């Protein structure tokens, strides 16, 4: 199997990838019962070259439910009716997942509401309270 180049220095060697073709579900007429066009790609994540420990940890987290019991990433594709295109699609999914793992998430900086936003909120609260007070007063008059 051909290796997958992800970024500079990050490569999934061909020996870490295996795939099998199975029958796809969904549309395809009689062809769907005869042709194994769905692709199941398995990648041994421990053999991916060029990943640092933090990127490897992010990859494990991102892979989540797609990890098999043996620790391999399982990627499926049945987007097209052609086995080769589904294989390329699955390889692209692996590439995108690895690219996402390479970039650390941006740290969230807590923000505070502006003074005008606080004032607006208090104005709205007073307005709602006044509306409810008038409803309560008119209800007492009706009783």
Q: Which residues contact 80 (CB under 8 A, 6 or more apart)?
A: 37, 86, 89
Task: Output the pTM of the full model.
Answer: 0.71
* pLDDT tens-place string over residues 122-142: 999 999 999 999 998 887 777
Distance CA 95, CA 104 (A): 16
- Summarised one tens digit per residue, pLDDT across range 74-125 is 999 988 888 899 999 999 999 999 999 998 989 999 999 999 999 999 999 9
């Amino acid at each position: 199997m051909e290796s997958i180049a992800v970024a500079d220095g990050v490569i999934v060697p061909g020996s870490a990838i295996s795939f099998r073709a199975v029958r796809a579900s969904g549309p395809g007429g009689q062809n769907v019962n005869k042709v194994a066009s769905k692709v199941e790609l398995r990648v041994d994540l421990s053999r991916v070259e060029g990943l640092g420990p933090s990127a490897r940890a992010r990859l494990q987290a991102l892979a989540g439910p797609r990890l098999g019991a043996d620790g391999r990433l399982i990627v499926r594709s049945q987007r097209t009716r052609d086995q080769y295109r589904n294989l390329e699609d699955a390889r692209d999914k692996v590439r995108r997942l690895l690219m996402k793992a390479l970039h650390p998430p941006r740290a969230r900086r807590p923000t505070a509401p502006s003074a005008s936003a606080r004032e607006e909120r208090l104005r709205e609260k007073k307005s709602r309270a006044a509306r409810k007070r008038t409803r309560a007063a008119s209800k007492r008059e009706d009783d």
